[in-house]
Structure 1
Amino acid sequence: MAELEETKKSRRGLRMMVVSLLALGLTLTGCSAIDGTSRPGATASSSAGRTTTPTPSAPPANPAVIALNMKDGATFVNPVTPISAEVTHGKVSHVVLKETATGAVTEGTAGADGRSWVNKGPLKFNTGYTFNVTAVDADGNKTTKVSTFTTVPASHEADAVLYPAADSTVGVAQPLQFVFSEPVVNKEAVEKAIKITSSAGQAGAFRWYSDTLVRYRAADFWAANSSINVDMKLLGMDLGNGMIANFNKNYNIQIGNKVVMEANAATHSVSVFVNDVVARTFPATLGDADFPSASGYMVITGDKQRYATFKAASIGLKPGDPGDYGSVDVEFASRLSNSGIFIHQATPSAMPYLGVANLSHGCIGLSPEGAGWVFENMRAGDLVHTVGTPNETIAATDGFGDWNIPFEVYASR
């Protein structure tokens, strides 16, 4: 009996030892590896036997970077230069391109991907601008960049005066004239930028008479009742020496009937042809032996004066000089040259000599009827062809003497 009790006590002690060891083993397993080394990354959990791994936070987004093609403080910026912005690591959020002084805003267009912007149309000359661009990155953070600049100043603008004027009607002998405000060095580039189209399909050529004066004519007179289109794409072009053209122009010119006056100093008469048919014939007096009329071709200009005063001093005559006529009043004056050649009503003293002798200082004197008819029926660009006179032709730029130059020579310069 005593042995049995002792055996029971021994078994209870053994069970308690096993339970203790098991409990101790579970506790060791919950905080260490079996070999006693720490587990990297393992942490105790409030729930027995469970572990968790923290999630790393996302790296911050790259900030947006803005690149402007216009350097801050730039000057002499050509107004046709595109003003643009490019964004990396983000997109364009807000853009303002405005005149610094007035605040007037220039419109622009954003790229399809939202990462670029460029202005629409040219800027103004001699104007300061502020270019303000804001971009946003993937996290919504904003970046702003500002540039201020000025365009080409007035001192470096170049313009041109065109003759004949847009939508005017002129005769078949009218060359097209372009007078530039500044010397043109890049002449070939300017010619290529001026497209001239004749409805009659006539080709022509430019001729430079100086660095500021160029004209254009066809090989023959313009076709009667045709039209000419002039398309000038010069805006922003450097004409040379940093002078920048400030215009594009497109305009039309109408050519009227073919009207030609044949003036014959030998027969003291003029005949006017309209579309190659004689319309009128008048007795005339042309330049005398000391002041013979110019031969060849002249063109009626836009200067017409119902009443005019001619002064001998304007052609270099002084009191006491042979031929000095002082000052005379005339009527129906149509200019042919810058040097003072006109078609006009003859002076009272010359009236008896119409059709008989040449008494003028180079002008074509007609009767009141003849001068009045020319004044009313011949326009700028109509042709006057003078024959029977020993004088040379007028200089090409003394009016429009271009037609006295053979076309192959005219086009070669």
Structure 2
Amino acid sequence: MTNDRTRNRTTTLRAGAATLALAVVATLPACSGSGGGGPHAAEPRPAIAVAPASGGRAVPVDRKVTVRTTAARIDSVRVTAPGPGPLRGTLASSKESWTSAGRLAPGVTYDVLVRATTSGGKRLTEHTTFTTAEPKRTFVGEYHPDKGTTVGVGMPVSIVFNKPIRDRASVERKLGVTASPAVEGAWSWMKDWSGRDRVDFRPRSYWKPGTDVTLRMDLDGVDAGGGLYGTQNRVVRFRIGESVVTTVDTARKTLTLRRGGEVLRTIPVSTGKPGFETWNGTMVVLEKTPSITMNSRTVRIFGPEAYNLKDVKWDVRLTTSGTFAHAAPWNEGKFGRVNGSHGCIGLSTADAKWFYDHVSPGDPVTVVNSTDTVQVNNGYGAWNAGWADWRAGSAL
């Protein structure tokens, strides 16, 4: 049996519980859900993420550099490395991501600097570095003329590569020739006499005496195709000397040398006999040697026409295949009268010494009234190509 005091206490407790329940319900926000995503949820923290990241393994050259931002927009991305220079890329329209274009250069360390701005105007900066893997296959170019030399008005810039070049356009883009005074010129590709890939630059006409020429080779990291990469950066400056131009007339059997446009001497010579005619066209002095041995086997002459001449004096080389202007005392009596050589330009010993002393590498020697024009890759035969044909040899 419950007394009045107990009944009153029970009623009071129930009323208090109901009041507490109402109070709890009253504190719940209207339309509340279970996700906790109310107006006071934390906002994303502004950040910049760069890949590849610093401190990782060597990066393959086919990787892309990517930049992504959180709660910020990209203002600038700079990716640079010694040699290859800046790496270009594309910024998304949202300005929240950037992706590099083209391949990375091998074996170099890239420096990445990113700047961004949050919606509130706060500036963000991220600076990282990464290193690319070393190339497995590389190439270099052997160039002429050499740095600091003075050469004749007919000297082209010539580069012979030690590996086959599949992507000639990519390589040619990284080669440059400038001159003071300026010239119109062009590169042209060919196979060197050795069979290797080669590219030469020549002006439209002979260089002007006194011209300063600069060759720039920015080949470090250049992909020449098939994973073959360049390793060379060179700046080569040389100078064009005075105009020394020689004409050899095989019909008149004379050699005429002009310096600065004026005739210095006309010398009687003996050029190639029938079946061994001297190349027609323009050749360029390659080198000079005071004495050499000439053996016919080196130019594939055998049998009754074979020869082995020792201590041949005052030799001016004109082609890779073996054309020289040199002393030929065994042809005494033929100079100016009979063409009796195996393709070389023979002179008396005294005249050969005079010619040797008056020409330099790069001086053009033009043979007229002969047969079979010298090929552009046989020494420096660039002047035997018409200008349109020469320009057509460019890869660009």
In structure 2, what is the Cα distance between the partners aligned to 1:281 and 1:252? 34
* Separation of aligned partners in 2, 1:240 and 1:124: 13
TM-score with structure 1 setting the length:
0.65
CA drift of 1:154 comes to: 4.3
Say whether the 8 Å CA contact 1:75–1:152 is kept in structure 2: no
1:166 corresponds in structure 2 to 147
Q: What is the rounded CA distance, in whole Å, between the counterparts of 2:58 and 2:45 in structure 1?
A: 27
Indicate the residue corresponding to 1:299 in structure 2. Answer: 284
Is the contact between residue 135 and residue 229 of structure 2 (CA under 8 Å) also seen in structure 1?
Answer: no
Q: Is the 8 A contact 1:76 1:153 kept in 2?
A: no
Distance 1:237 1:276, change over 3 A: same
Question: Amino acid of the residue matched to residue 239 of structure 2?
Answer: Q
- In the alignment, the residues of structure 2 paired with residue 279 and residue 162 of structure 1 have an alpha-carbon distance, to the nearest angstrom, of 32
The separation in 1 between residues aligned to 2:140 and 2:361, in whole angstroms, is 24
Q: Which has the larger radius of gyration?
A: 1
Task: Give the distance between the partners of 1:247 and 1:84, measured in 2 at CA.
Answer: 28
Matched, 1:402 2:382: yes
Asked if 1 retains the 8 angstrom alpha-carbon contact of 2:59 and 2:130, the reply is no
Task: Find the partner of 1:217 among 182, 199, 202.
Answer: 202
What residue in structure 2 maps to residue 266 of structure 1?
251
1:342 & 1:151 partners in 2: Cα distance?
48
Q: How far 1:165 sits from its partner (Å)?
A: 1.4
Q: Distance in 1 between matches of 2:268 and 2:60?
A: 62
1:254-277 Cα deviation digits (max 9, x unpaired): 111111111122222211000110
Q: Residue 83 of structure 2 corresponds to which residue in structure 1?
A: none
Q: Which amino acid aligns with 1:70?
A: P
Kindly report which structure 2 residues correspond to 1:334-345, keeping only aligned pairs within 5 A, or say none: 334-345=316-327
Of residues 179, 188, 193, the one that matches 2:160 is 179
Q: 1:240–1:311: structure 2 CA closer, same or farther, 3 Å change rule?
A: same
Q: Distance in 1 between matches of 2:353 and 2:390?
A: 35
Find out whether 1:357 has 2:341 as its counterpart: no
Change in Cα spacing, 1:182 to 1:67, as seen in structure 2 (3 Å) is farther
Residue 379 of structure 1: how far off its partner (Å): 0.8
The change in CA–CA distance for 1:127 and 1:248 in structure 2 (over 3 A counts) is closer
Preserved CA contact (<8 Å) 1:296 1:387 = yes
| SS of alignment partner, residue 396 of structure 1 | coil
Partner of 1:246: 231
Offset at residue 403 of structure 1 (A): 0.9
C-alpha deviation, 1:125, in angstroms: 5.6
- Hey, what's the Cα distance between the residues in 1 that align with 2:330 and 2:133? 63
Counterparts in 2 of 1:310 and 1:158: CA distance versus 1, 3 Å: same
Kept after mapping to 2: 8 A contact 1:259/1:383 = yes
Tell whether 2:369 aligns with 1:384: no
Structure 1 SS opposite 2:265: strand
Q: Distance in 2 between matches of 1:306 and 1:84?
A: 62
Cα distance, 1:386 vs structure 2: 1.0
Aligned mate of 2:315, from 324, 328, 333:
333
Deviation at 1:215, TM superposition (A): 0.9
Q: Partner letter of residue 188 of structure 2?
A: R
Q: Is the partner of 1:322 in helix, strand or coil?
A: helix
CA contact (8 A) 2:149 2:238 kept: yes
- The structural deviation recorded for 1:384 is 0.6
Label 1:283 to 1:244 Cα distance change in 2 as closer, same or farther (>3 A).
Answer: same
1:255 to 235, 240, 257: 240
Q: After superposition, what is the alpha-carbon deviation per residue over 1:304-334, rounded to whole angstroms, capped at 9, x for unaligned?
A: 211100001111122xx23112344301111
User: Residue 393 of structure 1 corresponds to which residue in structure 2?
Assistant: 373
- For residue 61 of structure 1, report the CA deviation from its aligned partner: 12
Asked whether the 8 Å contact 2:217–2:233 carries over to 1, the reply is: yes
Q: Which has the higher contact order (CA 8 A, sep 6+)?
A: 2
Alignment gaps of 5+ in structure 2: 1-17, 24-40, 72-103, 113-127
Q: Distance in 1 between matches of 2:169 and 2:108?
A: 29
Equivalent position SS for 1:295 = strand
1:234 Cα offset (Å): 3.0
SS in 1 for 2:360: coil
Residues 282/314 of structure 1: CA separation in 2 closer, same or farther (3 Å cut): same
Q: For residues 56-75 of structure 1, what are the structure 2 equivalents within 5 Å?
A: 67-70=49-52, 72-75=56-59
Gaps of 5+ in 1: 1-35, 41-58, 90-122, 132-145
- For residues 147 and 265 of structure 1, the distance between their equivalents in structure 2, rounded to whole angstroms, comes to 66
